[in-house]
Structure 1
Amino acid sequence: MDSKAKAAFEAGIKLGALYHQWVGTPISPNTATTVEKAIEEAVGLQPFVEDITVRIHTEYMVLNSFGYSELAGKMFDVKIKTKVEDSVCVAGLKLEDEYPMMKILELK
């Protein structure tokens, strides 16, 4: 596998893992920033990750009677940059047409 393909694979696998690991996490508007930072720090530890930015759209939260919501895929706005050798992939996860879409934004 060449380095561009590996950089793209690494970005995709990390976004998929992020999505499935964190969906369902109890969250409120008051804790969203803490969860964003925790995701960035956890994913950022993984090999080939150069940068990651996580934003959670709190306007999609529906608070239950206990004052919190569950993190849903539609709330994510994520951008990740992976690097393998000289190849760089920037990929994203965000709501498009009511679906949390993952896609490659740049590959060089």
Structure 2
Amino acid sequence: MSTINSLTDTDNALFEAGIKLGALYHQFTGSPVNLRTVDSLEKAIAESISVQPYVKSITVNIDREMIRSRLNSEFGYCELEGRMLDVALSMKYGNTMVKASLRFNRELDYPLMKIEEISNIR
């Protein structure tokens, strides 16, 4: 078995993007949310991830129609689901910029994390 020691900035940027989106998903799904608190939850998620290493920008949008359709009639809130999230993330590691996303894919019926773009910057 041989060891590969030549990891690139791109390898590390992709890894970091995946870690950030996975942490976001697993940390925040299940959070209580309603139409009054959705703005502050979006902001809390974005600010939480933005302080992590290599993050250049992040936008978080939560689907208000999904919230509206899932509100508990007695208590007036629901739980944040992965299918409600629309996240765009930009990471810079060394000379590599990665744009990644987390969006609900209706065809797959799954909140899919995806690399959108990789670019080298000098």
The TM tier, using the shorter chain, reads over 0.9
Per the alignment, residue 41 of structure 1 pairs with 47
Asked if 1:103 corresponds to 2:107, the answer is no
Q: Secondary structure at the match of 1:19?
A: helix
Per the alignment, residue 74 of structure 1 pairs with 83
Q: How high is the TM-score relative to the length of structure 1?
A: 0.97
The one-letter code matched in structure 1 to 2:104 is L
Q: Deviation at 1:91? A: 0.2
Q: Deviation at 1:26? A: 0.3
Could you tell me which of 93, 99, 102 is aligned with 1:90?
A: 99
Moved over 2 A (4+): none
Higher-Rg member (1/2) = 2
Please give the root-mean-square deviation of Cα atoms over the aligned residues, in Å: 0.7
Please list every run of 5 or more consecutive structure 2 residues that lacks an aligned counterpart in the other structure: 1-6
2:115 & 2:36 partners in 1: Cα distance? 31
1:58 & 1:77 partners in 2: Cα distance? 11
* Higher relative contact order (Cα pairs below 8 Å, separated by 6+ residues): 1
Q: Deviation at 1:18? A: 0.2
Q: Percent identity at matched positions?
A: 46
Please list every run of 5 or more consecutive structure 1 residues that lacks an aligned counterpart in the other structure: none
Q: Deviation at 1:32? A: 0.7
